[in-house]
Chains A and B, each alone.
Chain A
Amino acid sequence: MKKATDNKIRKKGLGVKAGRGIGNTAVYIGLVIITLIWLFPFFGIVLESFRVETPMQVSYLWPHKFGFDNYIRLFKETDFLRWFVNTGIMGVCTAVLQTVFVLAMSYGLSRLRFKGRKFLMNAMLVLGMFPGFLTMILIYKVFSDFHLIEQMAPLGLIIVYCASSGMGYYVSKGFFDTIPKSLDEAARVDGATRLQVFYKVILPLSKPIVIYTILMGFMAPWGDFMLASYLIHENSQGMSVAVGMFEWLSKTMVNTNYTMFCAAGVVVAIPVTTVFLLLQKYYVEGVTGGAVKG
């Protein structure tokens, strides 16, 4: 009887090992396929950006003739550089201001206890249930009186991105919640004010979340189409890259601008992707931390 079970276990153990070997091969094959699917469009866009024989969309991948014509056209004939600079400025300003707003809000809600704290959190939860775009109608009307639209849209957009950013406090609050309270108390006993506790004790410990917030702020203008297109309203001088390049693929323009779009896409993707991949570690920390704490 004992021998039988021993055999069984041994057999099973062997099976598991062999199974793992086969399983790993299968997983590798799966991962390679996924990699191909994931990277194919990026290869495609890079290749097509160098295609010079026709600016139209074609049904083959490998260009017949390579050249930099699309890139040259991009900077010579269009306002692309202007859009790029606009978006870059928006990215930097949003990163700075949004970080201030988000950190102040999340620190206050996480570490300080005061009357109305629960009310504030519930109010923001309910406000978050409205589609954010709804606010743009009034904002557009008011901004047009202050000339913050069209040509000056980048400035208006910075205000829009930052003003309500306090509502996105969840991830960083989750982070502050994990820092032990005893640190605060020790500092308080030593006579530090709450402000000193904030910037002398907690902030130095919060590097990952600060970088995460900065990264999110920087990425926001590059990815936003909806709010930007609403304020910019087809004024080429005030456009961000997303709004400007979107037009190039419209039915009337796609036949002359398709390869240029690819080139512009590459130019946009390189800096943003580099920044993102360099700071990937912090991004992952923020995302996973936020998920676990809800």
Chain B
Amino acid sequence: MKKLNDLDYLKLNKFQAFLYNLKLFFCSIPMWLKKAGLKIVEFFKNCGLGIKNEFVDIGTTFTKGNWAVKLSFFIFGFGNFFYGQILRGILFLVFEIIFFAYMFVPSGGIYWLSKANFFQTGNTVGNVQGGYVYNELYDTDVWVNGDDSVKVLLYALLTVIFIVAFIYTWRLQVKQCRICMDITAKGKKVKSGKQDLKSLVDDEFHKSLLALPVFGIAAFTVLPIIYMILIAFTSYDAAHNGYANLFTWVGLDNFNELLNFGYGGLGLAFGEILAWTLMWAFFATFTNYFLGMFVAIMINKKGIKIKKFWRTVLVMTIAIPQFVSLLYVAKLFDATGIIGKLLLNWNLLPDSMIAANQLSLWLNPVSAKILVIIINIWVGIPYIMLMATGILMNIPQDLYESSRIDGANNFQQYTKITLPYMMFVMGPYLLTSFVNNLNNFNVIYLLTQNNQLINTEIGTAGGVSVCHTDLLITWLYKMTLNSAETKYNLASVIGILVFVVVAVLSLIVYNVIPSTRNEEDYK
């Protein structure tokens, strides 16, 4: 499409300019895709190149290295011993011994790997099914343990991770041996164990700082998430819980079930819940954002007294644990609650609801949704208010003064100075808050769980009853609660889809909204 130059652009009237911008936006989409494609190609090219370089490097290390370096290809840390780095040598050697011991002992790594049948559709995870076997001693059937698929999969996954770590360590120590060789060839001394330890609080301080948090994240976030991604390709549910019944690899069946819009599929329920989740996140974020900013401007207006008091009043909703305030407020709007009763007595409910015997706002899908958003304003505004207060104080006052001289009124100042400034600074926060709202379990679950009646349910989906106000996250939660209807496999698929939604949104937002990284742009 033809790009206009500045002079031609200024000639357009407002409507034409808007159309022009819109067109520009859509015309640039193919360019983005092309750019993204090129980036992906480049990424793989770089990866390929990196791997190739690694192999070349390993090759030269082997051919050019002396006998100690060559031997360390097989005995971990041999080169370190040879060059006097006893501490590192011991660590490497111990790692190798543990690795081989773990892999080859009975019921060690190899054993678990052979049982897991990774991604072989139709095969079970684990291969010995437990069952009742007649026992002569007790003269009755006795349960004999078989494999537990949950454990088999976990140990197999850990083994895979261990193997990757092994390869990495092997590469690391080979590299170190070569560096040692080079250093000694130059006539310098290699680092001793004592120096190594010392550098842990100095040049290598990041290692000691990050070791614990990173290990925590690896063990309690990365590992479970990889595990759940694997679960998405199995039939792990209440009927196949791995212990009483082995579960199987099912390929993409779970994805098919969730995205199947025909009869028997969960596509419609999923679509409806996803639509409401997005709508909820949108309204929850933007109502809070604009009203919160409005309240902040009110409180910070010149001449308003006891600012601290007003602020503290609002902050009360952050201070009081959410489950207390939300559960109580939800009850207020019940048909028997104080506000609910008032609405009934004053005939404020629509006739159609009364006719359908929906005597409180919770009992009608539409009104329940609106009410959830309104109550969320009550909990959400204070955060925005605090943030906006901080930002408002940073807006240069001379902007207001000069605009006043130019004849701007309050409203114009708000739309032309305050709002754009806040938009700019809080842009990234809006995205975070949108994502948080997508997964806002507390507000939805605490407000609606005890109040929903049958007529607000979409129906049963994925073995659990789903309400109109349920988000993907509450649906996921209900599916995994320990009951006869647990569906871990579908829950994992939902989790993955939530990730996809969030990732796509984030990518778009980061590419479209001007980022705060170069704050100078605005000023």
Interface residues of A (CB under 8 A from B): 12, 16, 19-20, 23-24, 27-28, 30-31, 34-35, 37-39, 41-42, 44-45, 56-61, 100-102, 104-105, 107-108, 112, 114, 117, 120, 124, 126-127, 129-139, 141-142, 159-160, 162-167, 193-195, 198, 219, 222-223, 225-226, 230, 233, 241-242, 245-246, 249-251, 254, 258, 261-262, 265, 268-269, 272-273, 276-277, 280, 283-284, 287-289, 291-294
Contact = CB atoms under 8 A, between A and B. Distances in A.
A17 to B, nearest CB: 11
Contacts of B334: 57
B391 A291 contact: yes
Contacts of B491: 134, 137
B206 A114 contact: yes
B163 to A, nearest CB: 20
A23 B410 contact: yes
A27 B321 contact: no
Contact of B303 (A20, A59, A222): A20
Contacts of A194: 201-203, 205
Given A57-B334, A272-B320, A135 B378 contact: no
Contact of A276 (B203, B319, B378, B383): B319
- Please indicate which of the listed interface residues B209, B304, B342 has the most CB atoms of chain A within 10 Å of its own CB: B209
16 contacts: A12-B407, A24-B304, A27-B301, A27-B304, A31-B298, A35-B313, A59-B341, A127-B221, A129-B499, A129-B503, A130-B498, A131-B473, A165-B216, A193-B205, A195-B208, A249-B331
B319 A135 contact: no
Given A44-B328, A105-B213, A137-B228, A35 B338 contact: no
B410 A137 contact: no
A250 B404 CA distance: 57
Contacts of B492: 134, 137
A44 B491 CA distance: 39
B154 A138 contact: yes
Contact of B314 (A38, A42, A44, A195): A38
Contacts of A223: 321-323, 442
Interface string B315-346: 11111111111011101101011101110000
Given A284-B386, A288-B389, A291-B391, A129 B216 contact: no
B488 interface: yes
Interface of B: 150, 154, 201-203, 205-206, 208-210, 212-214, 216-217, 219-225, 227-228, 231, 295, 298-299, 301-304, 310, 312-325, 327-329, 331-332, 334, 336-338, 340-342, 378, 383, 386-387, 389-391, 394, 404, 407, 410, 425-426, 428-429, 435, 439, 441-442, 445-446, 450, 472-473, 476-477, 480-482, 488, 491-492, 495, 498-499, 502-503, 506, 516
Given A39-B313, A108-B206, A137-B491, A262 B441 contact: no
B321 to A, nearest CB: 4
A103 B299 CA distance: 34
Contact of B221 (A39, A135, A141): A135
A137 B480 CA distance: 7
Given A23-B410, A104-B210, A129-B506, A284 B390 contact: yes
B481 A251 contact: no
Contacts of B425: 291-292
A269 B20 CA distance: 55
A226 B223 CA distance: 20
A28 B304 contact: yes
A133 B435 CA distance: 14
A269 B324 contact: yes
Nearest to A160: B220
Contacts of B295: 34
Contacts of B506: 129
A38 B378 contact: yes
B328 A41 contact: yes
A159 to B, nearest CB: 8
B205 A195 contact: yes
A14 B202 CA distance: 66
B387 A226 contact: no
Contact of B480 (A30, A136, A160, A292): A136
Given A120-B210, A126-B503, A294-B429, 12 more contacts: A12-B407, A44-B332, A61-B338, A134-B491, A138-B224, A163-B219, A164-B221, A194-B202, A219-B321, A225-B446, A251-B450, A269-B324
A166 B445 CA distance: 27
Nearest to B383: A287
Closest A-B pairs by Cβ, 9 of them? A288-B390, A166-B213, A59-B341, A135-B224, A163-B216, A194-B205, A276-B319, A163-B220, A195-B201
Nearest to B377: A37
A273 B157 CA distance: 44
A258 B324 contact: no
Nearest to A20: B303
Nearest to B480: A137
A167 B338 CA distance: 42
Contacts of B378: 37-38
A58 B332 CA distance: 10
B225 A226 contact: no
A289 B426 CA distance: 11
Contact of B206 (A112, A138, A159, A293): A112
Nearest to A61: B338
B321 A130 contact: no
B242 to A, nearest CB: 9
A132 B391 CA distance: 30
Contact of B324 (A45, A162, A193): A45
Contacts of A24: 301, 303-304
Contacts of A141: 150, 154
Contacts of B203: 194
B516 A23 contact: no
Nearest to A258: B331
B478 to A, nearest CB: 11
Contacts of B312: 277, 280
Contacts of A58: 336
Nearest to B322: A223
B225 A195 contact: no
A37 B313 CA distance: 10
Nearest to B228: A134
B238 to A, nearest CB: 13
B516 A294 contact: yes
Nearest to A36: B313
Contacts of A254: 331, 450
Nearest to B472: A131
A138 B480 contact: no
B217 A127 contact: yes
Q: Which residue among A28, A112, A291 has the maximum number of chain B CB atoms within 10 Å of its CB?
A: A291
A164 B450 contact: no
Nearest to A245: B323
Given A133-B473, A163-B220, A246 B314 contact: no
Given A139-B224, A194-B201, A59 B338 contact: yes
B327 A261 contact: yes
